[in-house]
Every structure is written in C-alpha cells, then in structure tokens.
Chains A and B, each alone.
Chain A
Amino acid sequence: MATQQTTTAGRLLVAPSVILLFLWMIVPLAMTLYFSALNYNLLDPESIRFIGFGNYLAFLSDPDFIGALENTLILVLSVLVLSVVGGILVALLMDQPIFGQNVVRVMVIAPFFVMPTVSGLVWKNMLMNPVSGLFAWISSSLGLPVIDWFTSCPMFAIVLIVTWQWLPFASLILLTALQSLDEEQKEAAQLDNAGPISFFFYIVLPHIARAITVVVLIETIFLLNVFAEIRVTTNGGPSTTNLPFRIFELATNANDVGGAAAGGIVAVVLANIVAIFLVRMIGKNLEA
C-alpha cells in the first residue's frame, strides 16, 4: 500500500523524531569520545591536551573503578535474581483464584510508582535505622541481633531497596504472561495427573520464558543506571559506588572531564552488550 506519495509523506513525518534522536545520540557520544582522549580538568582549563588512551588506562587501573565495576555487577545481578525469582512466586500466587485480586494487584504494583529518592530515604530512615527503625524493633522483639544495615552491609541494603522497586515490575509482567497460558493446556496437564512441580517446570516455565527474558533485559538497562538510591543513602563509599556514581563523582567532585568521559564510554559499552540482546529479542516479536 506504500505508494510513492505516502512514502514521501512518511519520510517527512518520521524525519523530525529521527533527526532529533540521531543528534541526541551522536552529539553527546562524539563529545564524550573526544573528551575521553583529553587531559581536561574544569578547574585548570589551560592544561587541556591530547593524551589518547591515557584516561582509559588511568580509569581501568584505578582500584576505585574496578570497585565501581564490581559493585555495579553485584547490584545488577542480585536485584535481577531476587526480583525475577520473587516475581515468579508473586505472579504464581496472584494467578490463583483469589478473592480481591484487584486489590492485591494494586498493593503489589505500588512500589514501582515511588520515586527513587523517596524509596531510598524511607527505607534508610524509617525501616533500616538501627535505633528507631521498624526492622530494628522487629529483630529485637524477636530476640534477634539488630542489624545496622548501612554500616555492616550497605550494598545489601541498597540491593533490598532496589529489589523492592523492581519486584512489582517483574511480578506484573510475569502475571500477564501467566494469564495467557491456555486453559486447555492446564486441564490437559491436570488430566495427566501432572504434579504442581512438573507442571511448573514443563508447562509454566517454558510458557513464560520469553517474558522472563524481557524482564531481565529491561531491568538490566535500568539497573545499570541506578543512581538516586545511592546518592540519598550512602552517597558513595567503597562498597556502594557503582559506575554511574563514580562517573558523577569524577565529573562533579574532581572536575575531571576526561576521566568521567572515559568512564562514560565504558558504561556505554557495557550497556550496549545488553542492548544487542534486547533489540534482537524485541525485533523477533515485530515479525509475529
């Protein structure tokens, strides 16, 4: 149906978005690449000079960077595992014929709408505070030792907060996938006397495998960018500084334009590895 006329019109209609997105992608990226090859400190603009891969070498041999990379991976992987496994369990539970499913759904999805700064501060203070926090009160009433979350295991505390934000997303998407499971398939499995465990592994899991992949990939994109939760709770430190936070520190505290840019390129490469898989995955769906 694409006549010559509609094709030309189509190009004109798509052009503004494409041009803007192209500039949005290429200009910062080109600038970042350029900066990353410079020795450039905002406080000392006289000393700008080309140093090639110097920033990358400095960045990659910097223990703070290796730490930030490790923290990024710990955060992303832990939250992925917790939110996906938890999400499957919550979704399975919500898929049962329960009374008031809509209300449960509203409660489960709610944390997803809470802005990161709010979840960070509310958890840090009112729940995890070692003196007056609710968790401290619960542990001590049960006779358990009180945990000072942000002193003894800051990264775990952040993992918990971020998981709380992403568990609803995983649950909601996996529930949607579960609900599209064929009623007849369920009945057939029941006639075959399939136990709940084998039913789950042979019927349910393959059915939602695709949705799980989508959840993992999309969460990864966002989790690679976690920033505000760290900013308002620990504000960095060796055990919770991730890649975005390290770049932020270099840029604003050290005014190290070159270093921050090199770190940025590393982050872009990391995200692109994930992106390639995601784009391919969603692309397949376009054909269907």
Chain B
Amino acid sequence: MARRQSTSRQVGFTIAAWVVGFLIFFPILWMFLTSFKTEGDAYAIPPKFLFFHWTTENYAEVQSRSDYLLHAFNSVVLSVGANLAGLVLAIPAAWSMAFAPTKRTKDLLMWMLSTKMMPAAGVFMAIYFLFLRAHLLDNLWGVGFLLMMANLPIIVWMLYTYFKEIPVDILEAARMDGASLTNEIIYVLTPMAVPGITSTMLLAIILSWNEAFWTLNLTNVNAAPLTNMIASFSAPEGDFWALLSAASVLAIAPILILGWFSQKQLVRGLTFGAVK
C-alpha cells in the first residue's frame, strides 16, 4: 500500500499471493497431470503428483472414443463464425453510434444491453420449439445464429467504447478531403480500430467457446461443440478420470491461451466499459 515497504513484508505478501494463486490454479494443474496418468495411477491413494508413469495414450484415446476433432472443429466454427458474423453487423452500428450519435443513441445502447439480460432458460421453450419445427436442432447454422445473437450486444458495446476513444478530428479531416463513407471506414477508421476489434473478437470467442446452455440443449452429435463432448463423459463413463482429464485439457487449452493474452481487455468487455 505504501512505497516504503520492508523487504520482509514484501516477501510475506509475495509468498501469500503465490500460495493463493497456486490454490486457485490447482484444479487445472491437477487435471493436466492426471491427463498423463494411466487410469490406475489416476485413482491411486495416496495421489501421485509427479512420480508416475507418464503416458500420452489418453490423448489418442480421446480422439478414437469421442471424435475430438469433429467437436473441436464445431467449437471453432461456432465461436469464430458466429462472432465474425456478429462483427459484420456490429462494426457499422458501433461506428455510427460512436461518431454520429443522436439523441436516441444512449437509449439504443441501453436497450441493446437489456436484451443480454434475457435469461436463456426463459425463452428456451420458444427457441426449442422453433428449432424443432425448422429442423435446426443439432445444426451448426442454428446454434451459430443463437450464439451470434447472444454476443451481439456485448460486441456492439465493446466496439462502441473503443471507437469512442478514436479522435474525431482525424475522421473529420478525412471527410474534408472528400473521403466517402465507405473509404472513411476502410482506410481511416479500420486501421485505428483494429486493436479494439481484435480484443472484442477475442472476448466474444471466449464467451461462445464456453457457452453451455444452448450448446448442450440444442446440439447432439453433428453440431456438438466441445462443451457437449465433455458432458458426454458425465455418465456412465465418468469413471475414466485420465481420459476425462485429457479430453478436458484438449477442450480448454486453446481458450485458456487466448484468454491469457486478452486478460487486460477482459475487464472492460465484461463490465460493458463500466470498469476500465
């Protein structure tokens, strides 16, 4: 809290912080270690922390048992595809709200945010019914559309807060020079907006990747992403811990790495710009 800190206090805080950090991280580390064990070692009491027979068999088994690649492909298609579509819709909207606000812009933003408050379970019956009739159950387009709509308000909001920070003068200068609206967007706004767009995309991908209400309820096999593949380990095969761990590591690794890169933007995105 103060600048003049005795070294011993600093060491004390450092140890405490590392212990807390380690404990919070531990379940993930444990899953990682277990994924390299044989099933026998995974169940061993006392637990084997590092000294066990390391094996990568589980990873191969995940692919042959539950077709990891298909589900990973679905996860990628859903989270990247849905949010790319979301960006296409959101960039013009956020651009116009940030640079040409009207009296109603604020209300519009608030209203968009309020659509995010609609609980998925609340409208589940209607969506399920629509999907059933339209033969969209277990269909990538259907779930992809839902994930896009679920993230659209967040994407618009995040882009809006980033675009707000771009100096307006530059855009006006471009307008003076006779740049058309399209050129203004492509040549002036986009280069300045790319960092904000990237952060927005990262956060949106993380949210869709981990979305587990719509994906569990509306997909089954063909369109099922990784959330659903993991759920299939719940019973009766929950008794294969090493296998479950390997599948879990494969399911979370991509997003964990993406997440670590985007943690600075996370705060802003998840609080709709209310905390920066």
| Interface residues in chain A, defined as those with a beta carbon under 8 Å from any beta carbon in chain B | 1-2, 6-7, 9-11, 13-14, 16-18, 20-21, 24-25, 27-29, 31-32, 35, 90, 93-101, 103-127, 131-132, 134, 137, 141, 164, 167-169, 172-173, 176-177, 186-187, 190, 196, 199, 210-211, 214-215, 218, 221, 224-225, 227-228, 231-233, 235, 243-244, 247-248, 251-252, 257, 260-261, 263-265, 267-268, 270-272, 274-275, 278-279, 281-283, 285-286
Contact = CB atoms under 8 A, between A and B. Distances in A.
B216 A261 contact: no
Contact of A187 (B2, B28, B119): B2
A232 B234 contact: yes
Interface residue tally on B, bucketed by range: 35 or more
Contact of B275 (A11, A99, A176): A176
A141 B46 CA distance: 9
Contacts of B31: 118, 122, 126
A248 B121 contact: yes
A117 B127 contact: no
Nearest to A23: B149
B230 to A, nearest CB: 4
Main secondary structure of the interface of A (DSSP, over half): helix
A257 B124 CA distance: 10
Interface in B239-271: 241, 244-245, 248, 251-252, 255-256, 258-260, 263, 266-267, 270-271
B22 to A, nearest CB: 6
Report which residue of B1, B2, B228 has the largest number of chain A beta carbons within 10 angstroms of its beta carbon. Answer: B1
B252 A115 contact: yes
B47 A244 contact: no
B5 A13 contact: no
Contacts of B212: 115-117, 227-228
B244 A244 contact: no
B92 A13 contact: yes
